[in-house]
């Protein structure tokens, strides 16, 4: 069967647009980190001042004064230091995760090198090599996770240090044509440096979530202890406690909103790049049918390689099922991706065939 003609597709422009959008989104995530750090530093400075001022001054302060200090007052030095500290920490943590990300993820999912003596895994190695040649890249390290779940993902700092990982389930379930579509999708992530972006974004979003947990722990501790002991020094304990509670409530609002905003940014990056990876897979294979059939298989199968909140989940070709799917899913709906591929190829897609045994394999699939 001849490969369908691709229509109305400017891959170079799509790649350039996606990279620009990703840089904008990463900048947005950095800004979210800065805001959270600023509020955290501001809260530290304000609480120290509340518990240092004489009682007569503290009792004249109101919640409105606290809000004006945050939004209209001159930036406190503690707030500026907090913003800078969280930005630097996020970037440093992102770089550490970036360079060690592939090894960390490999250990996390328990992957191993593909066995060239196994016919199924030999076919996997051959397909990875074919797609690497088509993409003009060195062959990534080929890894397998022993699980019946159907999924695959790419990881690594650069094309020269990349890994392509697939589950034993997807290797057994897919035909060679379908496997080419899946691996073409993952090679797109390698070629377009998607994995580099995704790793940094996931790391920075993780820092924001970590700070959220720390802030909530501090708030619980403060509520339990009733505030600093200095409240007993000169009276005004009730006023100090009330103002401290206002500050902590403001921090709580930002502590809840910042991770939510970071998650939405992270998901926006992941979603838009899945569409591009699907299109680039078709560019490499010149055949949308294989990937369409593979995605149809994934629709009907268990894809739970990792928990929905795992960093691996956002890298996988198929989403892990979760609640609030449309808002918080790391991938576009499979139905939408399949429809786009059908429009891209301009063909009607026949039903998916049964997987054929690889050369040298005898007996049923198991």
Helix (H, G, I), strand (E, B) or coil at 112: strand
CA nearest to 174, candidates 275, 48, 88, 296: 296
Task: Please say whether the beta carbons of 250 and 42 come within 8 A.
Answer: no
Q: Catalytic residue among 186, 232, 274, 335, which?
A: 186
CA gap 123, 359 in Å, rounded = 8
Please classify residue 323 by burial: count the beta carbons closer than 10 Å to its beta carbon, then call 0-12 exposed, 13-18 middle and 19+ buried.
exposed
Can you list the alpha helix ranges (DSSP code H) found in 192-236? Answer: 194-225
- Residues pairing with 164 in the sheet: 142, 154
3-state secondary structure labels for all residues of 17-43: HHHHHHHHHHHHHHHHHHHHHHHHHHH
Contacts of 262 (CB under 8 A, 6+ apart): 29, 32, 33, 204, 205, 208, 209
**Residue 186 is a catalytic residue:** yes
Q: Which residues are catalytic?
A: 186
């Amino acid at each position: 069967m001849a490969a369908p003609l691709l229509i109305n597709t400017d891959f170079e422009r799509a790649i350039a647009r996606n990279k620009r959008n990703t840089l904008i989104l990463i900048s947005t995530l950095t800004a979210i980190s800065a805001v959270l750090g600023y509020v955290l530093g501001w809260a530290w400075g304000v609480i120290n001042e509340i518990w240092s001022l004489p009682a007569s001054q503290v009792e004249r302060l109101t919640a409105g004064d606290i809000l004006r200090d945050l939004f209209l007052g001159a930036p406190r030095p503690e707030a500026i230091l907090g913003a800078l500290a969280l930005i630097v920490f996020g970037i440093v943590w992102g770089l550490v995760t970036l360079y060690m990300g592939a090894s960390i993820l490999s250990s996390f999912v328990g992957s191993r090198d593909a066995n060239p003596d196994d016919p199924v895994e030999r076919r996997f190695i051959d397909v990875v090599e074919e797609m690497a040649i088509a993409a003009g890249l060195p062959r990534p390290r080929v890894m397998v996770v022993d699980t019946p779940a159907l999924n695959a993902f790419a990881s690594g700092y650069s094309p020269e240090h990349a890994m392509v990982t697939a589950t034993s389930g997807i290797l057994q379930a897919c035909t060679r044509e379908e496997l080419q579509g899946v691996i073409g999708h993952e090679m797109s992530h390698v070629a377009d440096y998607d994995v580099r972006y995704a790793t940094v974004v996931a790391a920075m979003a993780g820092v924001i979530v970590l700070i959220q947990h720390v802030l909530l722990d501090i708030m619980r501790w403060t509520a339990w202890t009733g505030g600093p002991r200095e409240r007993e020094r000169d009276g005004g304990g009730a006023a100090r406690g009330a103002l401290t509670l206002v500050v902590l409530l403001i921090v709580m609002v930002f502590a809840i909103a910042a991770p939510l905003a970071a998650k939405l940014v992270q998901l926006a990056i992941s979603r838009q790049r899945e569409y591009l990876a699907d299109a680039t897979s078709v560019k490499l294979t010149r055949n949308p049918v294989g990937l369409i059939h593979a995605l149809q298989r994934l629709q009907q199968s268990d894809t739970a390689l990792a928990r929905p909140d795992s960093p691996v989940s956002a890298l996988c070709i198929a989403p892990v099922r979760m609640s609030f799917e449309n808002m918080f899913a790391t991938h576009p709906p499979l139905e939408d991706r399949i429809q786009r591929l059908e429009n891209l190829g301009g063909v009607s897609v026949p039903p998916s065939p049964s997987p054929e045994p690889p050369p040298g394999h005898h007996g049923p699939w198991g």
